[in-house]
Structure 1
């Protein structure tokens, strides 16, 4: 029999970077090839205030239990402790495994995390850091039970090969997530709308050319990476906080006070449809300083910029908001009823709603 071909890790992980819902499959492939029960991608620390923790063949209850137990600290977590010891010595991305865990376990302040790992069957494995920057750490790991045993040199070699490709994939996905904010800003420039794009932490990712004038005039100021301005009934910072808070609002409206006795500006904030997970650099909300012209072309371009609707989908959304029956919309657009149903389904998906009533509520601040 011929030798089994090694997986093409570049292809496996690059597909995950382009389609993040494929990360679980990529991690599962790495776990399988190394004889491990679980693959893990985790983001922690630094400015990464919204961490992610993706583990294959693992219940969300266990992941939530880890988070609320506070076991991410090196005083309790032997995996974190082993990583930090190497980072302190200038070794940022070695392959760490059971031998390194054995060295730090006696120094832990508590055995709670160690006991939990034994209980749920993940005392062994190997790990490496894929990214260390001012945004935090992204780590890759395989997790194993005692039946799997300790990792072998051959398994760690496979893991290292996969990690090399995963590192490139994470960097690519971060780049793609960051570019989305710039693309959005460009879309608003095209329709002459002043816009600020913020991330899930409320920090400024990008802004349109029109927003430059507001910054230059001092109407809006940037403090660190956050924007603020006095306003009523809310300051700009309070508006951002309402859009980014867990369970926060989908839409906010406030008036900011301008300098030099110029008329006040109305600011509207829109929370974008949420993704299942990201590396933390996706646009989360948009703040608009001057809304679209009420003509059909301006509004449809505006909807395309905010919700990434196609021109056809944006036009259909406007017609639905105007109260036109679906049969009439289909006839006016020259499509079948089935095609229209499919297009409306895509509108719901992109806008993060599940009914026409919810879509109307979403569109009301824009089109009323």
Structure 2
């Protein structure tokens, strides 16, 4: 649970859409949810008297109170298991009206369980971390510009090509989350991320990053959730695609194979993808004269005289590279 997203790993006797109900009333905020407001240090048990003290100080949110009464879970106790910057994982015992207030004996049993649950969370965290690294490595091998997002909406890994996307200055990682400089676009991005990690598709327009040159499309998709994941494992993947620098050819591979500079390799890749010199110049924020000079250097280094010859060589290298990466 953090200041933007909340996820329930498991809850007994709860409606299937409870997680969305919780988010809809913003119950992850302390000013709404007295349980969040009354949180104490990790492994400390808080209960009804702490809830009452917080509500006397900060007031009672009637929307949340009606929510828990409708679900018959107004009372009980809780504890934070793990807490990081802006997020926490906890365990709670909810009591309804028939159960009444939690007793000292019940809270003692609850406290005895905490170290065992924490050990399970840490073990799952280690397993999920290994899985994240394997997935990131696979995406890197395919030279995909991508970020992996965990169950709390945080960026848990990204590929080397994604670093090039961040270097453009229009997207950044702040407080562990991918954010956009353009406020309106950031709101759409956060909505898409929230829907993906909740595995609840929401109709969205295409996410083209404003002012990006070349044009940059952001795609946000959910990943399959494994049973008993506590939110550390990737829950969504964000990929970045450009029609001018797509997945067909990699300028770095062409540069290495043909003895070009990286800039020349990128130009050669764009030529092979059918872009004219004006489009290449616009995409690279340079002049047509500079592109023409780079093309002369590329022709000389590759021993070709026409663009068609360069395209044939580049496409052949691209095919060889893809074959080498395929299992």
Place the TM-score, normalised by the shorter chain, in its bin: 0.5 to 0.7
Residue 279 in structure 1 maps to residue 236 in structure 2: no
Q: Could you tell me which of 76, 81, 85 is aligned with 1:125?
A: 76
- Aligned partners of 2:48 and 2:75 also within 8 Å: yes
- Aligned partners of 2:46 and 2:79 also within 8 Å: yes
Q: Give 1:55 shift.
A: 2.1
- Aligned partners of 1:250 and 1:270 also within 8 Å: no
- Aligned partners of 1:76 and 1:108 also within 8 Å: no
- Aligned partners of 1:97 and 1:127 also within 8 Å: yes
1:44 corresponds in structure 2 to 2
Residue 99 in structure 1 maps to residue 49 in structure 2: yes
- Aligned partners of 2:144 and 2:239 also within 8 Å: no
Q: Give 1:184 shift.
A: 2.5
Task: With the length of structure 2 as denominator, give the TM-score of the two structures.
Answer: 0.54
2:87 corresponds in structure 1 to 136
Q: Give 1:75 shift.
A: 4.1
Structure 1 residues 301 and 156: CA distance shift in structure 2, 3 A: farther
| Offset from partner CA, 1:212-251 (integer Å, 9 cap, x none) | 6x479x5677634448799xxxxx9899679646426699
| Structure 1 segments unaligned to the other structure (5+ residues) | 1-42, 231-235, 259-263, 303-310, 312-368
1:335 corresponds in structure 2 to none
Is the radius of gyration larger for structure 1 or structure 2?
2
- Aligned partners of 1:253 and 1:269 also within 8 Å: no
- Aligned partners of 1:82 and 1:101 also within 8 Å: yes
- Aligned partners of 1:82 and 1:100 also within 8 Å: yes
Structure 1 residues 287 and 169: CA distance shift in structure 2, 3 A: farther
Structure 1 residues 190 and 244: CA distance shift in structure 2, 3 A: same
Task: With the length of structure 1 as denominator, give the TM-score of the two structures.
Answer: 0.49
1:298 corresponds in structure 2 to 322
Residue 182 in structure 1 maps to residue 140 in structure 2: no
| Offset from partner CA, 1:152-174 (integer Å, 9 cap, x none) | 33322321232222223333434
Q: Give 1:76 shift.
A: 4.6
2:25 corresponds in structure 1 to 69
SS at 2:73 equivalent: coil
Structure 1 residues 296 and 265: CA distance shift in structure 2, 3 A: farther
Superposed, 1:12-31 pairs within 5 Å as none
Superposed, 1:1-368 pairs within 5 Å as 43-45=1-3, 49-53=4-8, 54-60=10-16, 63-83=19-39, 87=40, 91-110=41-60, 112=62, 113-191=64-142, 193-199=143-149, 204-209=155-160, 214=164, 218=167, 223-225=172-174, 226=178, 244=193, 246=195, 247=202, 269=219, 271-275=221-225, 279=231, 282=234, 283-287=236-240, 291=247, 298=322
Question: Take 2:205 and 2:133, find their aligned partners in 1: how far apart are those partners?
Answer: 22
User: Alpha carbon RMSD of aligned pairs, Å?
Assistant: 4.6
SS at 1:137 equivalent: strand
SS at 2:107 equivalent: helix
Structure 1 residues 118 and 220: CA distance shift in structure 2, 3 A: closer
Question: Take 2:74 and 2:117, find their aligned partners in 1: how far apart are those partners?
Answer: 23
Structure 1 residues 149 and 197: CA distance shift in structure 2, 3 A: same
Structure 1 residues 56 and 242: CA distance shift in structure 2, 3 A: closer
